[in-house]
Structure 1
Amino acid sequence: MFPTQTNADVANTNAGVSNERYDPAWVRTPRGRYFRLVHLDPEAEDLSGAGGVLVVWHAGLWPAWVYVAAASDLARALHHLADDDDIMSYEANGGLYVTWSFLRPEYRDGVVAYLVERLRPKVLPNPAAANAVPIPVLSPTDPT
């Protein structure tokens, strides 16, 4: 569905450079699927006041990453996303899906910087993470 290795990953592997990435334990539904953004109730998932990193993508004929960001309150961030016309415009492309990982504040910007560089989302997050040192993690669709 999505590429799991970039050309840089392959080049690094061939050059003997480690591509070890941290598994941030992206959250799924109890059935093992990812959440549809339009059906998600952040409060029902106990996300009020919980911080972490979230990733949004759309399915469909040409799936693509839409948004990556850090948030100190994931529930509030998800409500803002649901009200964002730029992001919600991708719902028509096969549905918007979302996941998150509960990460400590000192790691969030680094994880966002890495994912933005690697996934190249359609809608860019706050530029604060751009100055962070990237922290390599698995994307939601990478095999664990």
Structure 2
Amino acid sequence: MIDDIRELGLNGVGGVYLLWHGGLKPSWLVAGATEDLGHSFQELARDPDIREYDGRGGVFMSWSPIKGSFREGVVHFIAKHTNPTFECDFDSSEDPIPVLLPR
């Protein structure tokens, strides 16, 4: 992950995110929605469970600013199609909203 998340200029930007790791057995790690991508990335960068994957090919992240009313549906779609390692917190009663996943 980026050492200084503040360089991204995402403080106060709401949206959705997806983390994954590379290496021999790459996998999706977690998806989520947030009112503040910068703050959420700082928290994820300090999470020992996420940091454990730094040595397994690195941790990568993708994000998109998404209007608040669509975030839960987007995360529902992402979680349903990536089967992340860690539980994703989203409102499963929201209909999944399709988006393009990182490749």
Query: Could you say which TM-score interval applies, normalised by the shorter chain?
Result: over 0.9
User: What is the count of residue pairs matched by the alignment?
Assistant: 103
Please tell me whether residue 50 in structure 1 is matched to residue 22 in structure 2.
no
- Per the alignment, residue 132 of structure 1 pairs with 94
> In terms of Rg, which structure is larger?
1
C-alpha separation in 2, matches of 1:72 and 1:57: 21
CA contact (8 A) 1:87 1:123 kept: no
Percent identity between the two aligned chains: 35
Q: CA RMSD in A?
A: 1.2
Bigger strand share: 2
C-alpha separation in 2, matches of 1:111 and 1:46: 22
Rate the CA distance shift 1:137–1:40 in 2: closer, same or farther, 3 A: farther
- Per the alignment, residue 85 of structure 1 pairs with 48
C-alpha separation in 2, matches of 1:50 and 1:116: 21
SS in 2 for 1:44: helix
- Per the alignment, residue 19 of structure 1 pairs with none
Question: Runs ≥4 in structure 1, deviation > 4 angstroms?
Answer: none
Q: Mapping of 1:1-144 within 5 angstroms? A: 37=1, 39-126=2-89, 128-141=90-103
- TM-score if structure 1 supplies the norm length? 0.68
C-alpha separation in 2, matches of 1:41 and 1:133: 35
- TM-score if structure 2 supplies the norm length? 0.93
- Tell me how far 1:42 sits from its aligned partner: 2.8
Unaligned runs of 5+ residues in structure 2 are none
Unaligned runs of 5+ residues in structure 1 are 1-36
C-alpha separation in 2, matches of 1:96 and 1:139: 16
- Tell me how far 1:136 sits from its aligned partner: 0.8
